[in-house]
Structure 1
Amino acid sequence: MYKIIIDSCGELTDSLKKDGHFCNVALELDVDGYRIRDDESFDQHDFLRRVKESVKGPKSSCPSPEEYMQAFEGEADHVYVVTLSGKLSGSYNSAVLAVNLYNEEHEDCGKQIYVFNSRSASIGETLIGMKVQELEESGLSFDEVVKQTEEYISSMNTFFVLETLDTLRKAGRLSNLKAFVASTLNIKPVMGSTDEGSIQQLGQARGMKRALAKMVEDVVAATKDCEHRILAISHCNCPERAQYVKACLEKLARFKKIVIVDTAGISSMYANDGGIIIAV
């Protein structure tokens, strides 16, 4: 028996929600004092409205160790946890602390638990969970699943393009002047993950369509053996844009599978209205 726990920055597809092996542990959002739990009750349209009207911008808080410990319970003797990049959130550290506390309290339970630092976010976490399931279902030992999943994480890349820089500006990650210039000139940054799981700017383009085209080119250039890899796209309130990106990718490369999901709460905060995230 195995269980795959993904913090709520990682969106679960409908099939994964029904699978029985997956579950989310919720982070929380705060917009000017209004608390929002990133679970099935999350209302994306209401959240985006509040973010747009907010002066300070949204903030997030990670799950407590107690919440992770509750998720460990059950019959599964192999438990895998996938968290948002440790460079972006305290979720990873909270999950590691939860494992240490749980093992102290349940010394003889025989349960094996491992926490993966995704070094990614959003659908990147989901792909890691799917890889864990693939390896578990193939009959590998717990240690071998961990080893091969860590190798998979090291091979992954995450990319995203933002419609607006407003949230980054409000969060203090971008100067007012740079955000103003980018907005005025309609410059869209193409962003990506570093090897350590931080965010870096890979390039930029004038207009969303050109920025998406550049991101697609970057994705294909950075991905080896495309035909053997699953690619995932998450979008914040822009399904047509996600389908457009999928079509652009299919013109340049053949992937094993392409999955599209809408962003949940934490990913909606990062991507903002109109944002596109790709993980592969």
Structure 2
Amino acid sequence: MSYKIIVDSCTDLTEDMRKDGHFHVVSLTLQVGEKSIIDNETFDQARFLRLVSESPVAPKSACPSPEAYMELYKGEEDIYVVTLSASLSGSFNSAEVGRKLYLEENPHKNIEIFNSCSASVGQTLIALKIQEYAKLEKSFQEITRLVHKFRENLSTKFVLENLDTLRKSGRLTGLKAIISSVLNIKPVMYGTSEGTINKLDQARGIQKALGIMVESVVKDVKNPESRIFAIAHCNNPARAQYVKEEVLKRVSFKDCIIVNTAGVSSMYAGDGGIIISY
């Protein structure tokens, strides 16, 4: 069977995935003040981060249209879609609407849409798992079942360098943001099974916060020898390398990948942010 893996642009792809013809990206649009930025191969992270730091309002994202998904549903017989958490974006709903409309005219197609309940490298790992099973020539139904099971056991966590975006978006009061800034408090966050964001812990200083995140991996990971440890960084490869080394000292993962955040993930993580998934 021929297959295609469609991901929205919050999925932070490795270079190998970008070169692989099975992967196709649907772009979200970022809005910073009056400026609109398409989250595609032209995305300039440095410019985006500068615009965000200079803007008094929080950046926003707009999900792809159903038509954008429908265009990519053409071609291959088996179509798999991985989207940003439905709790954070309308991307999943757009993909679903597009599927319904497309199947009215093409009822023979197999199209499965995975709400990642995650973001960034959480989506990356789901996409890689789909490809792993496709290469084993498993059926569409079996791949769908196995990947949903994989997603249920996926963990995503992150550490933010600053709270400006959360403050500007109203998700954190100005007073808390000021106190956190003065005291150098760094939150350690995690994605829930429903795809929402909660605080795991906090620490004074980025290194201590990263240490808490590393220890949480050691405590809760199951069967690491069969899992990939994925790290996304926003403009800080040295910090990503530090997390990799600290985790792999303690846990024997099957593999580890490091990627730089694209547009949507850069918006969520902020300059210096680190996202992990396993």
TM-score normalised to structure 1 length: 0.98
**Partner residue in 2 for 1:86:** 86
Distance 2:83 2:34 in 1: 25
1:80-122 deviation line (CA, Å, top 9, x unaligned): 0000000100000110111001001223xx2200100000000
**Partner residue in 1 for 2:177:** 179
Name stretches of at least 5 consecutive residues in structure 2 with no aligned partner.
none
Residue pairs, 1:193-232, within 5 angstroms: 193-232=191-230
- Which residue of 266, 271, 274 maps to 1:273? 271
Name stretches of at least 5 consecutive residues in structure 1 with no aligned partner.
none
**Partner residue in 2 for 1:77:** 77
1:19 aligns with 2:20: yes
1:233-262 deviation line (CA, Å, top 9, x unaligned): 000000000001100001111110000000
Distance 1:60 1:19 in 2: 27
Per-residue deviation, 1:150: 0.2
Distance 1:205 1:140 in 2: 45
**Partner residue in 2 for 1:168:** 166
Distance 1:81 1:140 in 2: 17
Per-residue deviation, 1:225: 1.0
Give the aligned length. Answer: 277
2:256 alignment partner, SS class: strand
1:139 aligns with 2:137: yes
4+ residue segments displaced more than 3 Å: none
How large is the RMSD of aligned CA atoms in angstroms?
A: 0.7
Distance 2:230 2:145 in 1: 22
Q: Is the 8 A contact 1:231 1:259 kept in 2?
A: yes
**Partner residue in 2 for 1:255:** 253
- 2:131 maps to amino acid: Q
Residue pairs, 1:18-167, within 5 angstroms: 18-74=19-75, 76-107=76-107, 110-167=108-165
Q: Is the 8 A contact 1:25 1:67 kept in 2?
A: yes
Q: Is the 8 A contact 1:31 1:50 kept in 2?
A: yes
2:30 alignment partner, SS class: strand
Distance 1:80 1:220 in 2: 31
- 1:155 maps to amino acid: N
Give the % identical residues. 55
- 2:60 maps to amino acid: K
- 2:189 maps to amino acid: M
Q: Out of 153-162 and 222-231, give the one that drifted further.
A: 222-231
